[in-house]
């Protein structure tokens, strides 16, 4: 500035002051108004403010702002326009008292901040951004902060309600969509800073792309949506959400706007939480006056009122500063042009406290709300936002329920009418669970609350109670937990988690290294589980007459032949031997036991000789005794052999277990074996086979390496291949046996086995096989577990659920809940069967094998009863009865008298009677005392003779 210009400006200032002291009420102020393209509401509001002060002479201020309109992205053009207008003002001696900056953000805003800070121009800015977001004003000193003042517009403070709602409702994920009425460039980090909420902030796309935008956000597991914009743009987003089916209990929608009016959308059934500004009753008349009398009809209404008050209060603040002489005292008349600025010669405005004068009480009532001037980034217009739940049914609003209010500001809380009611309008935390049905972990049950039951269902239910979430269970289409093919592509549960189509993978899922590369696992919820073998349970053949099978049929026939032959020989020897009882009665008349070995007695003797009771009186003749002794020796040997072989026979049948380990299975060929196709067990054998093949190639390359010395080659020269090809052969055998695709198919093949030594064996997880064993009486688990791995819950890679679930599982472990679940689904499983205990070495002989002995007893008793009946019938009815007189006869002291009597009377039959008189009939019936010394009755040719 030249000396002449400075003197001229000083004279004008003095004249102006003298005029005011003489009653002049109007103060002309020079304002450089900077706006950006598209911010029409600010331009309209400033024009209304200028018109307002012109029509209200009592305010004592007048201005004709110099306007500069710039592009948000073209900093160079805007700077040229600023310097040109500014230099023109200086050239016209219109030294700017104030720069009114309504640029919003971006390069335009930063250009204005750089321009005003460099030239030391008092500025009131309505740019967006908190402390530190305005980079060109980031390092200004405390003195500069007094005349470089930023006041946030409503569109910059309204998004803070998102933070308040998120904290109030404990929202863990959020998508924040905004239109051009809001600027969120600086909010990406600050809006939800230090809040444990995954969030995405993005502008609303074109109408035809909004549906795809929502789908992409859903793939990021986002269910809480915040829409910041006009009612028109909010309607577009809600219509798109309805078209993709995002209105249900799993989603929460929040509409936040500066507009007034009602929310509308073409939604079939939706509930949206609406937040819109509401004017305080004490300012309604003021706003109505400005709108009607001064045509402040720009929209949004709250933004127009803010820019109007901002301009009005800025003009009045400058006017007060000039009137108080602060302008002159604080060296506010020192200006340099843009060309004169060299980066170090910025004018100093010591003590020019524009912020204090702006915040000074004025007679002008706020149009919408009072200005709260604190510091740059924290100054804003005070107002309230009304929260309500708007229900939309068949494209029309059917109800609006007030929820509360929010006072604009940082860290402001919600004032709710009913805090409990807010929970009804939040998104339920519903996780998508994919699973593979596998008993007893996951069991399909239509009657269960979620359609499934089992160990894992009980586990996830307890976790949900701890973490307070809900879930949906969906089976994967291929019923696989997940394996990687040769192209590196995954299937099953792993694929669903990788593609973000599921939140949780639940079931008996093994933790594997390759799976951990693409998904995350929680801490194990189950013990280490290995691979084992399922085979058909061998059944020991039982027979009621199994005791007869100890000896072969030929042996039994030979024993029977020996029995009859020996009996016959004994009868022949007793018949013809002169020393037998029947041929030498006088010799043995004094013996107490007299036994005539006829054919019946011989058969009875040989039979009873084989029993502990013994055969009774032996033959009297030596030849008969030799035959009896021989028979006794024979019987002793046969019985001893039978007894010993019976125990051995039963024991050997129990010890028949052909397969006891994986090695046994690999060394035989009669039993086919295989795991499920695509299972972790299949992967294990396939990889073990590949490893053996690679080791073989490595060993072969080492052995055939020509560069090795003789000593080194000798160290590699072995007779046997150093690495076994066990798994290579087993994998080949599995492929030849054809891997079953489902567990049911595998179990059916095991059941169809001919026996435990011929058929099919299934290799799988020990838990599956153990469950099949306790729920089926014809299956058994064979061998020890190998390749043991833990079971865990799978989540998406990087998911926060991992840490949450870890905490919950550890709590359940400490409370021993996992042990109770294991006992419930294993020890007390309702589907467990009580199977008949198989014979083993510690058990006795079962009734199935020895029951035939009891049948023999009952058959013998039955035959005896039949024989008794026959005897009774034969004796009573076969012989006709005849009553005869019996005379007394001399007492016969011994039955040997029968032979003498028989010689005299030629009797055909004799009947012995007791001492008393008796009556006999032709049938042989009598009543007498059967003692020696009685009477004998002889029947001779139908004549009765009494022998005395």
Task: Count CB atoms within 10 A of the CB of residue 47.
Answer: 20
The pairs formed by 369-376 with CB atoms below 8 angstroms and a separation of 24 or more are: 369/279, 369/280, 369/283, 369/408, 371/151, 371/309, 371/310, 371/313, 372/409, 373/149, 373/151, 375/131, 375/145, 376/131, 376/134, 376/137, 376/145, 376/148, 376/149, 376/150
Is the four-CA dihedral 856, 859, 865, 870 of positive or negative sign? negative
707 is in an annotated binding site: no
| C-beta separation of 197 from 173 below 8 A | yes
Q: What's the rounded Cα separation, in Å, for the pair 893 and 432?
A: 111
Q: What tokens does 351 get? A: 């003590």
Q: Provide the pairing of β-strand 269-278 with 384-393.
A: antiparallel
DSSP for 96-120 reads -SEEEE---SHHHHHHHHHHHHHHT
Omega before 440 within 30 of 0, i.e. cis: yes
Q: What's the rounded Cα separation, in Å, for the pair 278 and 385?
A: 6
Q: Provide the pairing of β-strand 380-381 with 371-372.
A: antiparallel
Q: What tokens does 542 get? A: 């039982």
Q: What's the rounded Cα separation, in Å, for the pair 869 and 876?
A: 11
681 is in an annotated binding site: yes
803 is in an annotated binding site: no
Instruction: Find all residues with CB under 8 Å of 108, minimum gap 6, and list them.
Output: 36, 70, 71, 72, 73, 74, 75, 78
510 is in an annotated binding site: yes
Assign residue 563 a region (left: φ > 0; alpha: ψ between -120 and 50; beta: otherwise). alpha
Task: Count CB atoms within 10 A of the CB of residue 722.
Answer: 10
Q: What's the rounded Cα separation, in Å, for the pair 878 and 347?
A: 157
Task: Count CB atoms within 10 A of the CB of residue 301.
Answer: 22
DSSP for 232-281 reads HHHHHHHHHHHHTT--STT-EEEEE-S--S------SEEEEEEEEEE--G
Q: How many helices (H) and strands (E) does the chain have?
A: 29, 31
- Find the Cα–Cα–Cα–Cα dihedral 233, 239, 244, 247, rounded to 10°: 100
Angstrom distances, CA of residue 723 to CA of 423, 688, 720: 65, 12, 9
Q: For residues 335-369, b (16+ Cβ closer than 10 Å) or e, as one string?
A: bbebeebeeeeeeebeebbbbebbbeeeeeebbbb
Instruction: Find all residues with CB under 8 Å of 226, minimum gap 6, and list them.
Output: 162, 165, 174, 175, 176, 177, 254, 256
Q: What's the rounded Cα separation, in Å, for the pair 891 and 490?
A: 115
Q: For residues 608-623, b (16+ Cβ closer than 10 Å) or e, as one string?
A: ebbeeeebeebbbbeb
Task: Count CB atoms within 10 A of the CB of residue 646.
Answer: 18
- Find the Cα–Cα–Cα–Cα dihedral 831, 837, 838, 841, rounded to 10°: 140
Q: What tokens does 365 get? A: 């009532």
376, 373, 377: which is closest to 130 by C-alpha? 377
Instruction: Find all residues with CB under 8 Å of 745, minimum gap 6, and list them.
Output: none
| C-beta separation of 649 from 550 below 8 A | yes
Give me the residue label for tokens 């030799």: 626
111 is in an annotated binding site: no
Q: What's the rounded Cα separation, in Å, for the pair 901 and 918?
A: 19
Q: What tokens does 865 get? A: 């009863």
Q: From the annotation, which residues make up the binding site for L-glutamate?
A: 510, 515, 680-681, 765
Please state the residue numbers annotated as binding site: 510, 515, 680-681, 765
């Amino acid at each position: 500035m030249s000396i002449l210009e400075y003197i001229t400006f000083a004279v004008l200032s003095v004249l102006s002051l003298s005029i005011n002291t003489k009653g002049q009420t109007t103060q002309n102020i020079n304002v450089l108004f900077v706006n950006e393209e598209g911010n029409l509401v600010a331009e309209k509001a400033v024009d209304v403010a200028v018109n307002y002060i012109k029509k209200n002479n009592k305010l004592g201020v007048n201005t004709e702002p110099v306007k500069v309109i710039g592009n948000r992205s073209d900093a160079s053009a805007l700077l040229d326009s600023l310097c040109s207008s500014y230099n023109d003002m200086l050239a016209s001696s219109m030294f700017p008292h104030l720069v009114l900056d309504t640029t919003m953000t971006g390069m335009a805003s930063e250009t204005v901040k750089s321009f005003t800070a460099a030239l030391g121009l008092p500025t009131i800015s309505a740019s967006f951004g908190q402390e530190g977001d305005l980079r060109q004003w980031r390092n200004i000193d405390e003195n500069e902060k007094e005349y470089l003042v930023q006041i946030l517009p409503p569109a910059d403070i309204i998004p803070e309600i998102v933070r308040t709602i998120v904290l109030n409702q404990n929202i863990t994920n959020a998508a924040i969509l905004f239109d051009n009425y809001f600027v969120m460039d600086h909010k990406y980090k600050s809006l939800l800073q230090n809040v444990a909420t995954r969030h995405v902030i993005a502008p609303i796309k074109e109408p035809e792309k909004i549906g795809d935008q929502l789908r992409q956000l859903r793939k990021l597991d986002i269910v809480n949506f915040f829409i910041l914009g006009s009612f028109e743009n909010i309607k577009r987003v809600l219509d798109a959400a309805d078209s993709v089916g995002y209105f249900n209990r799993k989603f929460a929608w929040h509409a936040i706007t500066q507009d007034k009016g009602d929310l509308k959308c073409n939604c079939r059934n939706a509930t949206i939480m609406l937040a819109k500004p509401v004017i305080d009753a004490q300012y309604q008349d003021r706003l109505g006056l400005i709108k009607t009398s001064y045509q402040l009809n720009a929209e949004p209404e709250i933004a127009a009122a803010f820019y109007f008050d901002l301009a009005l209060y800025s003009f009045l603040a400058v006017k007060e500063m000039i009137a108080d002489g602060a302008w002159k005292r604080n060296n506010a008349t020192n200006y340099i042009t843009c060309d004169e600025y060299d980066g170090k010669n910025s004018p100093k405005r010591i003590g020019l406290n524009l912020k204090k004068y702006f915040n000074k009480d004025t007679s002008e009532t706020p149009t919408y709300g009072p200005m709260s001037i604190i510091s740059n980034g924290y100054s804003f217009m005070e107002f309230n936002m009304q929260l309500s739940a708007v229900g939309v049914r068949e494209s029309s609003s059917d109800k609006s329920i007030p929820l509360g209010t929010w006072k604009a500001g940082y860290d402001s809380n919600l004032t709710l009418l009913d805090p409990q009611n807010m929970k009804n309008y939040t998104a339920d935390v519903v996780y998508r669970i994919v699973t593979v049905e596998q008993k007893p972990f996951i069991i399909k049950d239509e009657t269960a609350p979620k359609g499934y039951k089992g160990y894992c269902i009980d586990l996830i239910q307890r976790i949900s109670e701890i973490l307070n979430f809900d879930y949906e269970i969906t089976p994967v289409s291929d019923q696989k937990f997940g394996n990687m093919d040769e192209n590196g592509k995954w299937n099953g549960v792993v694929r669903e988690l990788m593609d973000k189509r599921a939140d949780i993978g639940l079931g008996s899922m093994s933790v594997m290294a390759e799976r951990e590369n693409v998904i995350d696992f929680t801490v194990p919820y189950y013990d280490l589980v290995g691979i084992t073998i399922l085979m058909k349970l061998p059944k020991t053949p039982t027979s009621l007459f199994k005791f007869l099978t100890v000896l072969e049929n030929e042996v039994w026939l030979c024993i029977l032949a020996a029995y009859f032959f020996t009996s016959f020989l004994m009868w022949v020897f007793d018949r013809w031997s002169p020393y037998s009882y029947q041929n030498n009665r006088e010799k043995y008349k004094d013996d107490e036991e007299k036994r005539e070995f006829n054919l019946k007695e011989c058969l009875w003797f040989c039979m009873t000789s084989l029993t502990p009771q013994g055969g009774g009186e032996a033959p009297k003749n030596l030849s008969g005794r030799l035959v009896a002794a021989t028979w006794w020796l024979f019987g002793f040997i046969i019985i001893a052999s039978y007894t010993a072989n019976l125990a051995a026979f039963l024991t050997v049948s129990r010890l028949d277990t052909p397969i006891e380990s994986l090695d046994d299975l690999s060394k035989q060929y009669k039993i086919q074996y295989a795991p499920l196709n695509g299972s972790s067990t299949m992967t294990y054998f396939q990889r073990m086979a590949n490893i053996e093949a690679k080791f073989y190639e490595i060993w072969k390359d080492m052995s055939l390496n020509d560069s090795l010395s003789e000593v080194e080659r000798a160290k590699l020269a072995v007779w046997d291949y150093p690495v076994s090809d066990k798994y290579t052969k087993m994998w080949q055998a599995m492929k030849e046996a054809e891997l079953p695709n489902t567990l049911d198919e595998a179990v059916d093949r095991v059941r169809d086995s001919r026996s435990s030594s011929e058929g099919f064996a299934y290799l799988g997880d020990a838990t599956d096989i153990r469950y099949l064993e306790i729920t089926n009486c014809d299956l058994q688990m064979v061998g020890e577990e190998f390749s043991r791995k833990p079971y865990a819950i799978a989540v998406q890679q990087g998911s926060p659920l991992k840490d949450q679930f870890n905490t919950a599982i550890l709590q359940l472990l400490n409370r021993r809940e996992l042990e109770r679940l294991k006992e419930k689904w294993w020890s007390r499983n309702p589907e467990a069967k009580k199977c008949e205990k198989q014979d083993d070495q510690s058990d006795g002989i079962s009734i199935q094998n020895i029951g035939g002995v009891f049948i023999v007893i009952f058959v013998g008793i039955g035959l005896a009863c039949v024989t008794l009946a026959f005897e009774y019938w034969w004796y009573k009815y076969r012989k006709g009865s005849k009553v005869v007189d019996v005379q007394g006869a001399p007492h016969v002291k011994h039955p040997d008298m029968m032979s003498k009597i028989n010689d005299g009377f030629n009797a055909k039959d004799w009947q012995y009677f007791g001492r008393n008189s008796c009556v006999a009939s032709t049938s042989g019936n009598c009543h007498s005392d059967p003692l020696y010394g009685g009477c004998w009755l002889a029947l001779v040719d139908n004549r009765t003779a009494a022998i005395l």
